[in-house]
């Protein structure tokens, strides 16, 4: 039985985490499924609840940069990015320290860790109340659409985890940017809530992963964030049997049902609504979901990445 608790019940949620239980909690990006990152059984339970492949590493959430530095090796670039973007929707992949207490399973056996300091006040209070480093992937079944409300988590993982802490809708609504700083040159592993343009103002040009280079961080699976219906991107027209995800002031006519990411073309609003709209339209009765073009800049880069992974192989 999964308990749905208000954010005011944070102390109970923290106590359960200390006991090795699993607690879903809000971040500014999406809801995370939290467990003690140093507890092998808790980490294994996260993989089991999500039905997640164990070669896919987890993001470790900590309350501040000092806690992150206990776990991984920080160079000058990492220090600068942490000062500017933490707390916030940026995950840094860094070399593990030799004495790092985080479960090897949480890092998928790699010599690196993916670390983040979340900005959401409930996440911050929970981390400080429990005093743990929390492994916390998105609180949904592996490969499915990420949750941005407590109700989404209950629909995905109800009965499989201990508690869902309801902190309301996630304000950003799309996962963190993941930047690999473990090698000589920075590599963008996943676009997300921190814009690539803002990172390049500090680091200069940032490269992308080489094809076939292996999974270094969450969100790199070829097919991910996927609804059950086929997804058709950059639609210039829509069939009468399709649902439409529109963007901008002129939705395409003729869809069986239309929902808009942002009638005004606001990319921040579109990111916040993306996963909720995918869930809302993933219903029997439609032949598929068509999506109008999204500008490939700022948060649009992250939106298009999630849509491309959701559509792949369909």
Question: What pLDDT, on the 0 to 100 scale, is given for residue 216?
Answer: 64
Average pLDDT over residues 184-212: 91
Question: Could you give the C-alpha distances from 99 to 44, 111, 123, 127, 277, in angstroms and in order?
Answer: 21, 12, 26, 21, 43
Question: What pLDDT, on the 0 to 100 scale, is given for residue 56?
Answer: 80
Q: How far apart are CA 313 and CA 278, in angstroms?
A: 17
Are 253 and 240 in contact by the 8 Å Cβ rule? The answer is: no
- The 3-class secondary structure across 180-239, one letter per residue, is ECCCCCCEEEECCCCCHHHHHHHHCCCECCCCCCCCCCCCCCCCCCCCCCCEECCCCCCC
> What are 27-82's pLDDT values in tens digits?
999 999 999 999 999 999 999 999 877 778 899 999 999 999 999 999 999 999 99
Q: Answer whether residue 300 shows pLDDT above 70.
A: yes
- Domain coordinates in residue numbering, the chain: 3-203, 231-311
- Judge: domain 3-203, CATH 3.90.870.10: yes
Question: What pLDDT, on the 0 to 100 scale, is given for residue 263?
Answer: 97
> What are 97-107's pLDDT values in tens digits?
999 999 998 98
> What are 149-173's pLDDT values in tens digits?
999 999 999 999 999 999 999 999 9
Residue 110 confidence class, pLDDT cut points 50, 70, 90: confident
Average pLDDT over residues 247-267: 97
Q: Answer whether residue 309 shows pLDDT above 90.
A: no
Question: What pLDDT, on the 0 to 100 scale, is given for residue 217?
Answer: 67
Average pLDDT over residues 192-208: 95
Question: What pLDDT, on the 0 to 100 scale, is given for residue 224?
Answer: 64
Q: Answer whether residue 290 shows pLDDT above 70.
A: yes
Q: How far apart are CA 183 and CA 175, in angstroms?
A: 23
Question: What pLDDT, on the 0 to 100 scale, is given for residue 32?
Answer: 98
Residue 140 confidence class, pLDDT cut points 50, 70, 90: very high
Question: What pLDDT, on the 0 to 100 scale, is given for residue 14?
Answer: 98
Question: What pLDDT, on the 0 to 100 scale, is given for residue 212?
Answer: 62
Are 29 and 129 in contact by the 8 Å Cβ rule? The answer is: no
Question: What pLDDT, on the 0 to 100 scale, is given for residue 16?
Answer: 98
Are 6 and 166 in contact by the 8 Å Cβ rule? The answer is: yes
Average pLDDT over residues 3-7: 97
45 Cα distance to chain centroid: 19
pTM score? 0.88
In the sheet that holds 90-95, the strands lie side by side as 3-6, 163-166, 23-25, 32-36, 134-135, 59-61, 112-116, 90-95, 177-180, 187-190
Question: What pLDDT, on the 0 to 100 scale, is given for residue 202?
Answer: 95
Question: What pLDDT, on the 0 to 100 scale, is given for residue 161?
Answer: 97
Q: Answer whether residue 219 shows pLDDT above 80.
A: no
pLDDT > 90: what percent of the chain? 84
Which of 3.40.50.11030, 3.40.50.300, 3.40.1280.10, 3.30.70.940 is the CATH number of 231-311? 3.40.50.11030
Q: Answer whether residue 187 shows pLDDT above 70.
A: yes
Q: Answer whether residue 215 shows pLDDT above 80.
A: no
Q: What is the mean pLDDT of the chain?
A: 93
Which distant-in-sequence residues (6+ apart) come within 8 Å of 43 by Cβ? 35, 36, 37, 58, 103, 105, 106, 135
A 10 A CB-CB count for 155 gives 12
Q: Taking Cα atoms as reference points, which of 284, 204, 295 lies closest to residue 243?
A: 284
């Amino acid at each position: 039985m999964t308990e749905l608790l208000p954010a005011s019940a944070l102390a109970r949620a923290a106590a359960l985490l200390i006991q090795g239980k699993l607690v879903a909690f809000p971040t500014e990006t999406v809801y995370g499924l939290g467990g003690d990152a140093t507890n092998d059984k808790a980490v294994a339970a996260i993989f089991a609840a999500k039905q997640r492949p164990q070669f896919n590493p987890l993001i470790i959430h900590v309350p501040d940069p000092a806690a992150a530095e206990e776990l991984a090796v920080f160079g000058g670039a990492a220090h600068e990015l942490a000062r500017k973007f933490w707390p916030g929707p940026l995950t840094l992949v860094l070399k593990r320290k030799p004495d790092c207490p985080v479960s090897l399973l949480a890092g998928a056996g790699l010599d690196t860790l993916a670390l983040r300091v979340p900005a959401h006040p409930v996440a911050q209070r929970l981390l400080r109340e429990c005093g743990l480093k929390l492994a916390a992937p998105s609180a949904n079944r592996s490969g499915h659409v990420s949750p941005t409300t407590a109700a989404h988590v209950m629909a995905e993982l109800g009965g499989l985890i201990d508690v869902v802490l309801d902190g309301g809708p996630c304000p950003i609504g799309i996962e963190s940017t993941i930047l690999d700083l473990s090698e000589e040159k920075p590599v963008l592993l996943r676009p997300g809530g921190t814009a690539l343009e803002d990172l390049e103002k500090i680091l200069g040009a940032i490269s992308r992963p080489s094809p076939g280079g292996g999974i270094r961080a969450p969100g790199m699976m070829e097919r991910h964030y996927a609804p059950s219906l086929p997804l058709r991107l950059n639609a210039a027209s829509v069939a009468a049997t399709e649902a439409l995800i529109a963007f901008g002031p002129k939705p395409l006519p003729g869809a069986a049902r239309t929902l808009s990411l942002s009638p005004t073309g606001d990319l921040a609003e579109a990111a916040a609504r993306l996963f909720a709209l995918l869930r809302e339209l993933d219903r029997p009765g439609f032949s598929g979901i068509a999506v109008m073009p999204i500008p490939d800049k700022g948060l649009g880069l992250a939106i298009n990445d999630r849509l491309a992974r959701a559509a792949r192989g369909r």
